[in-house]
Amino acid sequence: MNNIGVLMTCPMSEYLENQLENRFSLFKLWNHSSPKPDFLKTHSSSIKAVVGNTKIGADANMIDSLPNMEIVASYSVGLDKIDLGKCKEKGIKVTNTPDVLTDDVADLGIGLALAVLRKMCVCDRFVRSGNWINGDFGLASKFSGKSVGIVGLGRIGSAIAKRAEAFNCSISYHSRSKKPNTNYKYYSNIVDLAADCQILFVACALTEETHHIVNRKVIDALGPKGILINIGRGAHVDEPELVYALLEGRLGGAGLDVYENEPNVPEQLFSLENIVLVPHVGSDTEETSKAMADLVISNLEAHFKGMPLLTPVL
């Protein structure tokens, strides 16, 4: 397969990069001096596959620029950076990396909730600054027994629910439709869900319908004692409204792994002590990074050997 051209859209995983170089003819979109359109035009006849992620996938312009492309393999479970309509129109296969990252993202979601409620980052600064010698740290809030609402009860949402249940939390959820085989309380309206929970986790896929699904109405329903945890996509939340709500005290706190204009984060958030910010690292562990890379490679090899894809989207 060394003669098959594979385009990697941006730096992702050193391990993935090495594996691709060992098996295919690898083109790195970021590692060239010519403008992107010129680079794609020069190598258009050679590139048969694209490997993208949550930063750069395969948009309509890229797809049209690569007439010999057969498959897009996403180094992510998310598909919002891939023009699925254009891929379907041109008969291009699409794969992603579900399941292998579920545990890590769910773990981080629970960790963010604990960090916000127990003020872990503030406690850390308190100890490091030497302030403990002047008196004890104040009280925080417990996580166990809280009412948890989950937006999107897919793989990751279900994993969050399972973990929250271990803390004796009550679970309710909102999704496009009621899920079978679950006893969790279903809300067809996200505002009602937010009004009836203390911690709201956002774990759904990003689509046109879920863009800014967490808006001012949802935030106000969650209220000044509520906590928002977003481990989905930044665009799920109306970010300016979130900032205003936190600054005005209309929302109790937030734990954020994703942002609307990454890597840019609203500077107004930096001084707030009731939020925890991490830089989109939900699946960034050594173990999961390798498993995701192996799945990308396996899907590409299956396609070019004429075998069934392991995790087909299209």
List residues with catalytic annotation.
Answer: 233, 262, 280
Can you tell me whether residue 102 is helix, strand or coil?
helix
**Cβ atoms 87, 63 nearer than 8 A:** yes
**Cβ atoms 257, 108 nearer than 8 A:** yes
User: CA 60, 263, 293, 8 torsion: positive or negative?
Assistant: positive
Between CA 264 and CA 218 the distance in angstroms is 24
**Cβ atoms 57, 74 nearer than 8 A:** yes
Name residue, tokens 């916000």. 116
CA atoms within 13 A on the CB side of 191: 4
> What tokens were used for 310?
């392991």
Beta bridge partners of residue 173, listed in sequence order: 150, 186
- CA-based diameter of the chain, in Å? 69
Between CA 210 and CA 17 the distance in angstroms is 32
